[in-house]
Amino acid sequence: MSRPPRSPHVFSLQCVRAFCPQSALTRAPSLVPSLTRAPQSWAWQQVRTNTRNISGRLFYRKRPLMIPKRKRPHWRSKWLQGAPQRGGICIKVTVRTPKKPNSGLRKIAKVRLSTGKVRFVYIPGIGHNLNTHSVVLVKGGRIKDCPGLFYRAIRGKYDLLPVKNRFRRRSLYGCKLPPEKKAWRFERLNMRWLYIEKDRHEFNKFKWMTWRNEDGTLREGPLEPDEPVPRPDRFNWWFRTQKERSQKAG
């Protein structure tokens, strides 16, 4: 009995199957799960993981510029980048409560420094006039009862006015000396050459033996009753402090 002739397409397909066996990618999945091979979903996730789209702050941590070695590394105020002060613009002015056991409201401002970094800045003193877009000068300084505050605003500079009615530690709050106080100090300075009878007595008792005149010669005797007391600056101060030291030593 003769075999029916085969089609050329069937013959070519049989040749391909004979010389090219089925691979793992073209083979039909087995109904029996494999116990030695990991799930295909897990392997696919590992392949898809990449960091191509992660950049900027998500990938690199921002760091300040290099501070010169001669500068002391203040890590709390590092965003001043080695400078004693930096200018900035207020973004927001608000208040914050201190940590226990202190209480109250600490006035702070969110400032964008000239370095581009945004930081919270403490406003010292009683009362202030800062608003949004105000220009301030910022220095380093930690606030003990407010965590996260490592910068202070300088009073009396740019838009931040000094504290009113401040008479002690005025330089910390940008306060000037009142005109009446300044006049009193000038008057006291001009009266420093006045002397009393006690100064004459002490000069005759201690100083005349070693006192030199303006021409460089030694004095020959004590002062007369109507003769003015020759004395350098702060002679009374020297005598009084010397007397206090002798009393403490005795």
**Tens-place pLDDT, residues 119-169:** 999 999 999 999 999 999 999 999 999 999 999 999 999 999 999 989 899
Domains of the chain, earliest start first = 78-163 (2.40.50.140), 197-249 (no CATH)
How confident is the model over 47-67, as pLDDT tens digits?
555 666 666 666 666 677 766
CA angle (187, 192, 196) in 5-degree steps: 120
Q: Which two tokens stand for residue 248?
A: 């403490």
- Round to whole Å and give the CA distance between 145 and 204: 60
- The structure's pTM equals 0.54
Torsion of CA 179, 180, 181, 187, to 10 degrees: 110
pLDDT computed for residue 44 by the predictor: 47
89 token code pair: 């613009």
Residue with tokens 């000068």: 137
Q: Are 80 and 140 in contact (CB under 8 A)?
A: yes
How does DSSP classify residue 86? E
Cis peptide bond upstream of 4, omega within 30? no
Alpha-helical runs (H) found in 57-206: 179-190, 197-202
Name residues whose C-beta falls within 8 Å of residue 214's C-beta, 6 or more positions apart in sequence.
none
Separation between Cα atoms, residue 5 and residue 178, nearest integer Å: 123
Who contacts 197 (Cβ-Cβ below 8 Å, separation ≥6)?
none
* Contact between residue 108 and residue 120 where contact means Cβ atoms under 8 Å apart: yes
Q: Are 139 and 151 in contact (CB under 8 A)?
A: yes
Average pLDDT over residues 233-240: 55
- Residue 213: per-residue pLDDT: 82
Residue 235 tokens read as: 């002679």
Structure tokens at 19: 């010389």
Assign 77 to helix, strand or coil.
coil
